[in-house]
Amino acid sequence: MIDLKRLVRAHFKENSLSKVSTKINSGNFFEDFTIGQKIKHPLPRTITDGDVSFYIALTGSRFALHSGQCLAKEFGYNRRPLDDLLMFHLTFGKSVQDISLNAIANLGYAEVKFPYPVYVGDTVRLETKIIGLKENSNGKSGVVYVHSIGYNQFNEEILNLKRWVMVHKRNKGEMSGINDVPTFAKTTPISEELNIPKADKISTSSTGGDYFWEDYEEGERLNHIEGITIDDSDHTLATKLYQNNAKVHFNDHMMQNSPVGERLMYGGHVISIARSISFNGLQNAQWIYSINSGAHANPTLAGDTIYAYTEVIEKIDHNRADLGLLRLRTIALKNMTPTEVEDARGEDGKYLPNVVLDLDYTVVIPKKPKNKLNKK
């Protein structure tokens, strides 16, 4: 999407002038990465109540655990834990300037875990190891595979993810032939221990949802009824809040010369909107355990209305008597309602043009309480 010729020309022009500074970080190109390389991303970020309010305003999210302090205490927390996706965006955003500033596309995610709760006041940071490189045959770009781990201020692991990104080559046409692609687990393995307090006093009149783990069945499809239209300021405010500085999201002047002709929405914002829409039907599924895989099937632009439906892929029991897991697939659509779509892919196996997200993830949801006194 980036006009690389122009960037390179600018680069050379810069170097031909005597005093033009070389202190500008123009991001890493494909050739700048090596397998095994480790990167400490700068800008540890303290998360505040301001971020939490902003996230609710951006997404309309209603999961009760993140909305109310009293409810969080009923759930056994001292304080409201952060919405997993808000934490994801604030932590993940740090990697953009080193990994994906010159990205053509975020191709996928795998084995994304949220191992430890994050709270207001915590400071998160991110470190990344390069785990794979694959040159594209066109000689212009390549795919970089990374493994990133996020930490809080106590060095507790709060995020663990793998992703792959297509980035521009600095020197087009010079082939290295590198083709070292890692393998990923199809789903993130489920741990013996869940860092979630005992969930035996769920007030469904507070969470807004009557359904528990036992109530869902594999193959069930939830056609969420809400649609949320996203405007320019929404998605750019979100992306700036996360200090994600990938140019394609911000710079309309540059993007006017790209095939899409305008700013692309940060894919993470689409994930958050889809998750927010999925509330209706999954009210008690308040924890994301993992993102098993994710694909941004088509670009989302300002003005698009996002809809979503969710399929229950798998019911996963756990040794915890109070909690179970559901592996879900949420499909986000633009300008098309869930009832208009039978399958996200057409007969040719390709995503329909209105499909913008295919997210395979696992959530934690309480089991049905033993006594029925929970409904106050």
* Interface with its own copies, residue 135, by CB under 8 A: no
Q: Which of 5, 19, 189, 347 binds its own copies (CB under 8 A)?
A: 19
CA–CA gap between residue 327 and residue 332 (Å, rounded): 16
Angle at 349 between CA 344 and CA 354, to 5 degrees: 35
In angstroms, the first-to-last Cα distance of the chain is: 54
Span from 16-24, 109-117, 287-295, 366-374 in contact with its own copies (CB under 8 A): 16-24
* Interface with its own copies, residue 214, by CB under 8 A: no
* Interface with its own copies, residue 119, by CB under 8 A: no
CA–CA gap between residue 165 and residue 142 (Å, rounded): 8
Q: Which of 37, 136, 160, 223 binds its own copies (CB under 8 A)?
A: 223
Site for its own copies in 329-368 (CB under 8 A): 335, 337, 339
CB of 183 vs its own copies, minimal distance in Å: 30
Span from 55-63, 106-114, 132-140, 291-299 in contact with its own copies (CB under 8 A): 55-63
Span from 13-21, 188-196, 315-323, 343-351 in contact with its own copies (CB under 8 A): 13-21
* Interface with its own copies, residue 251, by CB under 8 A: yes
- As to burial, measured by CB atoms within 10 angstroms (0-12 exposed, 13-18 middle, 19+ buried), residue 327 is buried
Q: Which residues of 106-126 are buried (b: 16+ CB within 10 A; e: fewer)?
A: bbbbbbbbbbbbbeeebebbb
Of 28 and 188, which CB lies nearer to its own copies in the complex structure? 28
Residue 317's CB is within 10 A of a number of other CB atoms, namely 11
* Interface with its own copies, residue 21, by CB under 8 A: yes
* Residue 265 DSSP one-character state: P
- As to burial, measured by CB atoms within 10 angstroms (0-12 exposed, 13-18 middle, 19+ buried), residue 69 is exposed
The two three-digit tokens of residue 315, written as one number: 């019911």
Of 10 and 185, which CB lies nearer to its own copies in the complex structure? 10
* Interface with its own copies, residue 211, by CB under 8 A: yes
Look up tokens 């480790």; give the residue: 38
CB of 108 vs its own copies, minimal distance in Å: 26
* Interface with its own copies, residue 224, by CB under 8 A: yes
* Interface with its own copies, residue 243, by CB under 8 A: yes
Of 136 and 374, which CB lies nearer to its own copies in the complex structure? 374
| DSSP character string of 47-67 | --HHHHHHHHHHH----GGGT
Q: Which of 35, 190, 226, 301 binds its own copies (CB under 8 A)?
A: 226
